[in-house]
Every structure is written in C-alpha cells, then in structure tokens.
Structure 1
Amino acid sequence: MEETLKILVVDADEIDRMAVRSALTKAGVQMELSEVSDGNHAFSALSTTAYDCVFLNYHLLNQDALTLIQQLRSSEIKVPLIVLTDQRDEEIAVQLLKAGATDYLSKSRISPENLTQVLRSAIRVYRAEMQAALATQQLRETHEQLIRKNQELERQQQCIQMQNFNLLEASKLKSDFLATMSHELRTPMNAIIGFSQILLRPKFTQLTHQQADMIERILNNGKHLLMLVNEVLDFSKLEAGRLDLKAEIFDLSKVINLAVGELRSLADAKNLSLFVQTDLQNTLVFNDPIRIKQILMNLLSNAIKFTESGEIWVEVKELAENRVVIQVGDTGIGIAPINFKRIFEAFRQVDQTITRKYPGTGLGLAIIDSLVRMMGGKIFLESKLGIGSMFKIELPRQITLSNVATNAPASQLDADGVFCSAKNHHSSFQASKASIGYPKFKL
C-alpha cells in the first residue's frame, strides 16, 4: 500500500502486539502504528483520533471485544475492526460480525501475507460502506429537498390558481363594464348624430356656411365616436362569448359594393384610387351580411388610413372546396414582419405612443380575426414596408352555425402559415396587383 495508514493495535499481550507489528512491517505497509492494552484506552483513542484500521484482540482486560465493538458502534465511531481470535474463539465470529466487526483472523494464521490481505479487504469494505452511506444520506437529503420543493410548488400552484380565478373575475367584470358603458354611450351618440343630420337638411332651417360646417364636423366626429364605441361593444361581446352570427342568404358583391361606396369619399379626400373586381360565378353566400360588411369596412378604413398615395383595391374570387376569398390591398406604409402577429392582438397597435400619427382603439383587426374564425375562415397577410399590404380573408360559401365557436383560441397566424414570408412578398404582391388588372371600374 502506497498510502500511510494509521493503525491501532488493542491487545493486553505484548507478544501478540509485537506479532502484528512485525507482520505489517515485513509486508511493507506504510503506517503509523499505535498500541493500547485495554478497551478503555482504545475507546479514548478512537474517540479523539481517526484511524484507518484497528486490530482488536478478542480477550481484553476486564472486557471482551464484543462489548467494546458494541460500545464503539453505539457511539457512532466508525472504523474498520479486525478481531484477532484464538482458534477456539472462531465459533463466535458470527456474533462479532453482527455486532459491527469488519473481519476476524485467528492468531495462529498471522503472517505478513494473511494480515495484509485482511487489512486491504477490511479497508476496502469499510470505504465502500462509507461511500454507500454517503450516497444514501445524499439521496435522503435530496428526497427531503424534493418534498419541500413539491410542497412549495403546490403552494405556488394554489396561489396561481387563485390569481387566475381573480384575473378571470376581473376580466369578466371589465367585459361587463365595457359592454354596459358602450351600450349606454350609444344612445346619446345616436341622438347627437340624428339631430345633426336633421339640422343639415335644407328644408329644416337656413344655415350659414360656417354653421353648416360646424354641424358637419359634429356629425362626422359623432359617427367616428360611435364607430369606436361599437368596436368596444363588439369586442366585449366577443370576449364574453355573447356575439352571435345572424346568417342569411345574400349577394356578396352587393354588400362589398355598399361598403366600398360608403368609404369612397374618404379615399377621394386623399386622392386615392379605389378599385373593385368581383369574379364570382355565383354571388350568393350564406353568412352574416352585417358582419361581412363590418370586416370589409374595417379593412378598407385601415387601408385608407395607412395609405398616403396610390391605390386601394378589393378583389373577390372563387376558391376550391366551395370557398371564396376577399382581398383588400393597398400601396400604403406596409407592416414589418415582426408586427404581423402583434397587430391582431386586442388593443395592440404598431405605434403605442399617445402622440402616434394614426389614431384608433386597436380593436379592429382583433375583431376581424375573431369574426373570421367564427365563420370558419382564415386570415392571410402579405406586407412589406414602403410597398403596401394585402389582407386575404378565406371563407366558406356557406357557414355552419352549429360549428360557430365564439370562444375559440386565437389564430396561430404565424405558425399555421397564415402570414406569407416577407422575403417572398414582393413578387406575390406585384402578381396580386397584376391579376386584378387596371384600370378598374369605379362604383
């Protein structure tokens, strides 16, 4: 053995101690050897000094090895113990091993080879036991830590569940509040709009140009405010799952032309060209005409708002599997790819500052997304900064009301391929414009 071992020999017989010392020396064991003659001195030495191994004579003064071993083990003193027995004492070897002895050896067999072999084996077994005990202790501590962590996780989960419950309750209260306030605001707004329209009738009263201009502004701002209120009301209904589609058979081209006609003045005010092309063999669909018009009005309003010059166009055409697609394109400011998904989030706008150039609630596209999903359709967006945007709405020609899911999860617009890749946008965008063909007829 290369390492220096601290060895204790416990034996009242000097000759026996000398035999052990001689055998270890002849075996070439590197050691620091200590000797004591009785159990009390042995216990005291082992209590204060760490030994690598103890050779213990079974017969001690006023005590036997079995008693000393039990005393050592009960005091949590752990050290390899090799009991040296007389030949007639080998019958009690089992008792010694059960009490905590590591091994035993008959004095008649003491030799450098035998003693070294027993010493190596005892130390190896002891160290293996210590490693196993350490591993067991570590496992026990890890198990206790896991129990504590599980308890903490359970506590946190309960807190999260309570927070979720409170959030759901707060969200419901917020939705109810928005619905109530929106409903209450519509009544006075309708009155303002109605009286403004009456005042603008020539036969009702004679107004100066300045008075007519002021009332016109009241009317326009009232309509705008009513539109914002309606958006909030629709969103609160969608969020609460209380908005229902009222489907009927109607002429899709007429609804589209009606929506375009209502917004044409806004496009003309900005000198924007507004074109429409309908390519449907059958223009009849089964859907909610009011919501279809609302979708189109929102898309066209956004296109006009974010386009400073150029064109806006609407295209309607057939798709396979009894579906139709409505496309609204513009040559406006465009949308960066990073904002493709964000713009469909409620109350989210690309520019969130209070000094933003383009006003609005940020609910328009969120409402469109929800309505399209209720109809069993999909939204596709192609856009590039500085070139323009195109929103494509794919819808079934006949919606199934039994499958309407007002509380369906939000569309995974980017994961499901709803958005086209920005790097492929330019060619597809130009191809879409070319497919429409210019000039178009104006309504």
Structure 2
Amino acid sequence: MSEEQFSILLVDDDKVDRLAVRRALSKAGLMANLTEAKNGADAMSELKVRQNFGGVDQVNCSDSASNYLGHIFDLVLLDYRLPDIDGLHLLSQIKAFNLYLPVIVLTGQGDEEIAVEIMKAGAADYLSKAKIEPKGLAKAINSAVRIHKAELAVELINKRLRISNELLIFKNQELERQQEQIKLQNVQLQESYKLKSEFLATMSHELRTPMNAIMGFSQLLLRQYGDPLSEQQQNLIQRIFSNSKNLLDMINEMLDFSKIEAGRLEIRPQRFNLGNLINLTIEELRSLAVQKQLDLTAEVKLKDSYIVQDANFIKRIIVNLVSNAIKFTDIGTVKIKVWEIDPDKIAIAITDTGIGIAPVDRDKIFQAFRQLDQGFTRQHSGTGLGLAITKSLVTMMGGKINLESQLDEGSTFTIEIPRKYDA
C-alpha cells in the first residue's frame, strides 16, 4: 500500500464509472483525496477554484483528506467522452489555463488511434474503463505523479540554469563593456604617454642649445683673453660653467629616457676593445673621484678584450654607475672589475664603499624618477633617471643587472651581457 497521499480530480459523467474508480482506489489502498466533476465545465471550475486557493466539496477516500483543502490537484482522471466536451479539448483547455498537471485519460472505446491521439495531446497515460483494476490504476497513478514530479524538478533545474545563464550573460556583457572601457582608457593613456615622451624629447632638445651656449661662453671667459679676470670673477664663471654642465647632464638624461620610452633609441652593435673603453672612461671620470679624495681603480681580466656590442651603451652604463658610486661615497674606494663568466658572457662590476642601500629600497632605485631621498632638502641632486636608463640599456643588449648592498658599507652593481649581441 502506498503511504503517499494524492489529491485527484475525477472527471466523468457516468456515476457508475466514478464509483468503480473510487472502489479500485480503496482496494488498492491508495490514500487519495478524490474530487468529482460530472462534465468539463465543472472540472474547469474546480481547477480554477483550487488554483485560487478556494474551498471545495470533497468526497473522501481517506481520513487525511482535509490536509488537501486549497491544494492544487496532483492528478486528473479524465473521461474521454463528456456531455459538453471531449477529453482532448478539455486537455487543451487545462493547458491553456497554465495548469501543468498529469492527466490519465479513461476511455471506453479501446481504440488505439484515440489512445495515440490522447498521448500526443499531452496525457500522461490512458486506461480502458473495461480493464480498470486496483493494482493497474494505482500503478498508473503512482507512475504519472512520479514522472510529473521528476519533470517539475527538471524544469525547476532548467529554470535555475536559464536564470544562471542569463546572469552569466549579463555579467559577461558587463565584463565586455568594462574591457572596452579599459581598452579605451589604455589607448588614451598610451596617447598621453606618447605625448609626454614627445614633449620631454622636444624640451630636452630645445634646452640643450642654450645650455651648450652658456657652457661655451663660460669656457671662453675662463681662458681670460684680453684683460685677466679677478679671482672672484673666475669663481663666479666657474660656478656658471659647473651648474650649466649639471643641467646639461640632466637634460641629456631626460632626452635619453624619452627616446627609450618612445622606442626610438636604437642599438648599434660593433666590434671594439672593451678593456680600452673601460680604461678611457675611468680616466674621464677620475677628476670626480679626485675632488672627493677617493681611489678609483679598474681591473680588467679578459682573455679576449674584443666584444660585439653597442660601445656607446656600455660607456653610458659605466658613466652612470661610476658617477653614482662617487656621488654616494665620501670615504674609501670605487672599483671597476671586468671578467669572463664563460666564453659567451661578460661581467662588469662597480663596487663602492658608500652609504649602501636598504633591502626595502633595492627594487625602487631602478624605477624612473625614483630617488631614495625625494625631499627638497636632499643632499644629492639628480633626475632619478640614471639607473632606470642603465637597466633599459642593459636589457636592450640582452643582459641583466644585479645589486648587492649593505647600509653604511657600500654597494656592488653587477652587469652581465653577451659577448656578442644577438639581434
């Protein structure tokens, strides 16, 4: 006996047939709340009332039937032949009223064509009135309700999936809109970046001309053609020359950086003697070390001093790193060491005994316009571009740069580059 209780609408104009169904349900032990309708109009009225949670007159097959007051039916047992309408048309009316219920059609003809027609119209099953018996009826009802509930569960899952898909589609559309906005912003940023680089390049170029003129006239005055200058006049002109040179160095850094940003700085590899280049560059910078009473030394240990790289790039790197080492070292030495890591790779290390760099600041120093002391009262001047340019030049040559440093003990910048530039 089934423990599940069903609310069933029986639609049949024949009182004897309705009684037969009730008896079959009772014998099968099927707990059911049975509501009877004699024609199609009564059936639709019952369905509408139930859908609106109204009360109904009930014929009980179980003491638990009162639990189904106001509950939509679990199943409809529908006679195919009704006095006011046939089963197929009533079935279509039930669907038109948006009542999704399993319907078992009861037919007395036993016509297979009618059965097929009924199933095509959406009936869950059909039974011949002549063959209604308790077990078969109970089995058909249980099966129809079970399948209907499974279909409802599937429909609910599909509905949730549709809602989820719609939500995903909406989110994807929103993401696409945001991506388009980001792309537009990137284009605008790139355009602004390009304009900034062009502005820096133009201004740097324009400023170099008057700076060169100021330095040239200062040098002419220092040569003291005609009347000799007083010591005070010489000091003033020397200051003009020194400050102009500092400004020109900054302008050159800005120009180089703007070229790197704009991708207009080209590498020009050539075969040259690295040892000679190192020694000549050191001699050009020696006066800076002498002014601070620092020892500036170079140690070149190469089996073959000739390499194929951009000589100007390497010279600029040495000038930047050695100048920085001298700037931030007050006592001690600045040393350049060159050696072969392997036959295809060269290392250049610049070591100083200066102020050193804290671990937290080591990544920052290679960022453009970044200086460890950013205040207006900082002791050491500069644009903050030297190391950023150095790293860019090393990268363009296919190399890398490393830093080892201890506060108050000094720093070592080590460059590793291929012996031969690989385009």
Using the TM superposition, name which of 174-183 and 253-262 deviates more.
253-262
Q: CA deviation at 1:229?
A: 0.4
Q: Is the 8 A contact 2:76 2:102 kept in 1?
A: yes
Residue-pair matches, total? 401
Partner of 2:124: 102
Are the equivalent residues in 2 in contact too, given 1:306–1:332 (CA < 8 A)?
A: yes
Shift of the 96–240 alpha-carbon distance from structure 1 to 2, 3 Å rule, reads same
1:92 paired to 2:93: no
Q: Does residue 32 of structure 1 match 2:54?
A: no
TM-score (norm 2): 0.84
> Pairwise mapping of residues 253-292 of structure 1 onto structure 2 (< 5 A)?
253-292=275-314
Give the Cα separation in 2 of the matches to 1:25 and 1:388: 101
1:234 and 1:204 mapped to 2: Cα distance? 39
Kindly name which structure, 1 or 2, has the bigger radius of gyration based on alpha carbons. Answer: 2
CA deviation profile, 1:39-71 (whole Å, cap 9, x unmatched): 112112223422111112222231121110011
Length-normalised TM-score, structure 1: 0.80
Judged with a 3 Å threshold, the aligned counterparts in structure 2 of structure 1 residues 38 and 366 are, in CA distance, closer, same or farther, namely same
Equivalent residue letter for 1:215: I
Separation of aligned partners in 2, 1:114 and 1:204: 133
Residues 148/310 of structure 1: CA separation in 2 closer, same or farther (3 Å cut): same
Partners in 1 of 2:112 and 2:344 — Cα distance?
A: 97
| Matched residue, 2:43 | 42
Aligned with 2:417 (options 375, 379, 395):
395
One-letter code aligned to 2:203: M
For 2:210, the equivalent position in structure 1 comes to: 188
Shift of 1:12: 2.2
Structure 1 residues 229-238 or 51-60, which shifts more? 51-60
Query: What is aligned with 1:235?
Result: 257
AA paired with 1:345?
Answer: Q
1:334 equivalent in structure 2: 356
User: Following TM superposition, by how much is the alpha carbon of 1:26 offset from its aligned partner in structure 2, in angstroms?
Assistant: 3.8
Aligned to 2:68: none
Contact 1:310–1:331 (8 Å) recurs in 2: yes
Map 1:17-416 → 2, pairs under 5 A? 17-49=18-50, 50-86=72-108, 88-89=110-111, 91-201=113-223, 205-337=227-359, 339-352=361-374, 356=378, 358-399=380-421, 403=423
Q: Provide the secondary structure at the position in 2 that maps to 1:17.
A: helix
Specify the SS of the correspondent of 1:343: helix
Per the TM alignment, residue 202 of structure 1 is displaced from its structure 2 partner at its CA by 5.0
Q: Residues 110 and 128 of structure 2 are in contact (CA less than 8 Å); yes or no, is this contact kept in structure 1?
A: no
Could you say what secondary structure the match of 2:16 adopts?
helix
CA RMSD in angstroms, aligned pairs only: 2.8
* CA shift in 2, pair 1:247/1:65, >3 Å: closer
User: C-alpha distance in 2, partners of 1:33/1:338?
Assistant: 82
Partner Cα separation in structure 1 for residue 237 and residue 3 of structure 2: 107
Deviations 1:252-272 (A, max 9, x none): 333323333343444444454
**Which range moved further: 276-285 or 289-298?**
276-285
Task: Determine what percentage of the aligned residue pairs are the same residue.
Answer: 52
CA distance in 2, matches of 1:89, 1:283: 106
Q: What's the CA shift for 1:353?
A: 5.3
Contact 1:52 1:79 in 2 (8 A): yes
Please state how far the C-alpha of 1:311 moved relative to its aligned partner.
3.2
Greater displacement, 236-245 / 174-183: 236-245
Shift in alpha-carbon separation, 1:58–1:250, aligned structure 2, 3 A: closer
Counterpart of 2:38, as a letter, is S
Question: Residue 77 of structure 1: SS of its match in structure 2?
Answer: coil
* Partners of 1:71 and 1:189 in 2: CA distance: 96
Contact 1:199 1:205 in 2 (8 A): no
Residue 48 to residue 266, structure 1, CA distance change in 2 (3 Å): farther
Amino acid at match of 1:27: A
The answer for unaligned runs of 5 or more in structure 1 is 404-443
SS at match of 2:280: helix
Deviation at 1:275, TM superposition (A): 2.8
Deviations 1:334-384 (A, max 9, x none): 344555444333333445555555443222122112222332333233334
The match for 2:11 is 10
- Cα drift, residue 206 of structure 1: 3.5
Cα distance 1:120–1:387, how it changes in 2: closer, same or farther (>3 A)? farther
Q: Give the Cα–Cα distance (whole angstroms) in 2 for the partners of residues 30 and 286 of structure 1.
A: 97
Paired residue type of 2:302: L
Q: Is the 8 A contact 1:8 1:54 kept in 2?
A: yes
Distance in 2 (CA, whole Å) between partners of 1:106 and 1:343 is 92
Whole-Å Cα distance in 1 between the matches of residues 45 and 281 of structure 2? 102
Q: List runs of 5+ in structure 2 lacking aligned partners.
A: 51-71
Call closer, same or farther: CA 1:309–1:69 in 2, change over 3 Å.
farther
Tell me the secondary structure at the aligned position of residue 307 of structure 1: coil
